[in-house]
A = this chain, B = another copy of it.
Amino acid sequence: MSNRKYSIGVDFGTESGRAVLVDVADGREVASEVFPYTHGVIDEQLPLSGAKIELEPDWALQDPEDYLRTFQKTIPGVLKQSGVSPEDVIGIGIDFTACTMLPTKLDGTPLCLVPEFRRNPHAWVKLWKHHAAQPEADRINDTARKMNQPWLDRYGGKISSEWFFSKVLQILDEAPEVYAAADRMIEAADWVVWQLTGIETRNSCTAGYKAIWSKKTGFPEKAYFGALDPRLADVVETKMSRNILPVGQKAGGLTEQAASWTGLKTGTAVAIANVDAHVAVPAATVTQTGQMVMIMGTSICHMVLGDEEHIVPGMCGYVEDGIIPGFFGYEAGQSCVGDHFAWFVENCVPAAYQKEAAQQGKDIHQLLEEKASRLKPGESGLVALDWWNGNRSVLVDVDLTGLLIGATLATKAEEIYRALIEATAYGTRVIVETFEKNGVPIRELVACGGLPEKNPLLMQIYSDVTGKPIKVSASNQTPALGSAMFGAVAAGRKAGGYDDIFEAARQMAHLKDNVYRPIADHQVIYDELFAEYLQLHDFFGRGGNDVMKRLKKLRARQREADVLVV
């Protein structure tokens, strides 16, 4: 046992789980270990020997045993790597993708591990990107509008097919026997904490953002659930728990079994579960109002803390205590950012550029960034609408599609690449301005995730376009760091941790020295270009011409015809 104390954060991603062992004193990341899930994302057939159970399109499942394997592989791994004694590990926190959920028995046994249900896909974990519950989401929204449900406004007027009750209702619709056999419907985040502690808890973050819960009014009323389906009327009483704990609390201590899985001490403090994007906020040093955290990867999550409750149109949701206790946590998002550039590189970059990159020993993204850096704002003559994957905020419309305007015979790949970056920056500016107009002030931006380090041009453009300074998290694994911070808070000051997340963030979270600041010359041009973007955004996004939706419908019709022919 040494003077130094450590905490472990475990970040459950889409393809793998990652543990990071962190020094509680200063947040130094001492060791990290990744476990790629044995069965990854299950989207074709169930991983069963001797039975071929195929999945329909848009399904995405996981194996709950992969989560336990993550604990068993990564925690012993970081202990071994670091040489840290289990005595000195004071707490564990976890964060998860969401809404990722599963049906279980009363003791927590996943239904997919019960032989009777093993071959039923509805008994497995439904991953966040399981998109087959759209009809149920439509029903949830229609019924809510008809019954004038007050909570609908908190979610930008629309509940997503990815969220908790869409998935529960799909189970009820398509596998009523699974629904009936399930004693619990639970977020995987809460389920893994249950497995560690032996205690069933529910966290305020997923409950608020994904399961229509609020601190003031709880879940939707029984009459509403009954209107969706009479069998669903008592879903909260019979399948869930009204006992929602705010993030930052302790869920319990490690059971003997969990201690044996991990090599940690029995009773080690475990924090209430959390969500990857949300736990990144304090890890990016943000525990106050006025700063917007952008978690920038394939998509962007925008997280803001507010003192007051405001209805901000078109965001993903806001939850009291949802990110940091004592604040309203607002969440918005853009569904196509890193994915956009990946699509462009795969589908639109000519062979000559690939060759040039190879000759110079560069990544193609790097070459494009260099070429695009040499352009001035406005020099490409291009403006794009960044809707290649629909628009999450502020239009909340998955049926919108991409638009590129201004191309000529002189247009080069790097010009289109830059226009796509700019388009995503305009999208962020729309979100920032919508927050500001609705009473949630934003003074500066704090970025984390994979993109900021890879693409300084993009960061500068975001600063030029929004007119805000952008700071960057020092950690490149903010979710795991954030979870470790919550682990240290669960342990508490007496055990060598902290009494609250504010103190933990002050000590353990850091920013890079380099700050991106708007360049005045660029801002002037980008103001002009943003005005063009906004005009197109409102025209195509708010009903001026619904051509995108009509084209998408026609496309679906013609693809369907294809399938019928085949």
Give A residues with C-beta under 8 Å from B.
336, 339-340, 343, 346-351, 354-355, 376-383, 388-389, 401-409, 411-413, 525, 528-529, 532, 535-536, 539-540, 545, 547-548, 550-552, 554-555, 557-559, 561-562
Query: When the two chains form their complex, are residues B348 and A378 in contact, meaning their CB atoms are under 8 A apart?
Result: no
Measured CB to CB, the closest approach of chain B to A388, in angstroms, equals 5
Query: When the two chains form their complex, are residues B381 and A401 in contact, meaning their CB atoms are under 8 A apart?
Result: yes
Residues of B within 8 A of A401 (CB): 381, 405-408
3 tightest A-B contacts by CB? Answer: A381-B555, A402-B407, A351-B351
Query: When the two chains form their complex, are residues B351 and A348 in contact, meaning their CB atoms are under 8 A apart?
Result: no
Query: When the two chains form their complex, are residues B402 and A403 in contact, meaning their CB atoms are under 8 A apart?
Result: no
Query: When the two chains form their complex, are residues B558 and A525 in contact, meaning their CB atoms are under 8 A apart?
Result: yes
- Complex alpha-carbon distance, A559 and B412, angstroms: 14
Measured CB to CB, the closest approach of chain B to A498, in angstroms, equals 42
Q: Contact check: which of B343, B349, B382, B528 meets A351 at CB < 8 Å?
A: B349
Question: Nearest B residue to A346 by beta-carbon distance?
Answer: B350
Q: Contact check: which of B350, B381, B412 meets A552 at CB < 8 Å?
A: B381
Residues of B within 8 A of A383 (CB): 547, 551
* 24 CB-based A-B contacts, threshold 8 Å: A336-B409, A340-B409, A347-B411, A347-B412, A347-B413, A351-B354, A377-B558, A378-B554, A378-B557, A379-B562, A381-B551, A381-B554, A401-B406, A402-B407, A403-B403, A403-B405, A405-B540, A405-B547, A405-B551, A406-B548, A406-B551, A532-B547, A535-B547, A536-B545
Question: Nearest B residue to A413 by beta-carbon distance?
Answer: B347
Query: When the two chains form their complex, are residues A347 and B350 in contact, meaning their CB atoms are under 8 A apart?
Result: yes
Measured CB to CB, the closest approach of chain B to A526, in angstroms, equals 11
Question: Nearest B residue to A401 by beta-carbon distance?
Answer: B406
Question: Nearest B residue to A352 by beta-carbon distance?
Answer: B346
Measured CB to CB, the closest approach of chain B to A339, in angstroms, equals 6
Among A343, A525, A529, A550, the one with the most B-chain Cβ atoms within 10 Å of its Cβ is A550
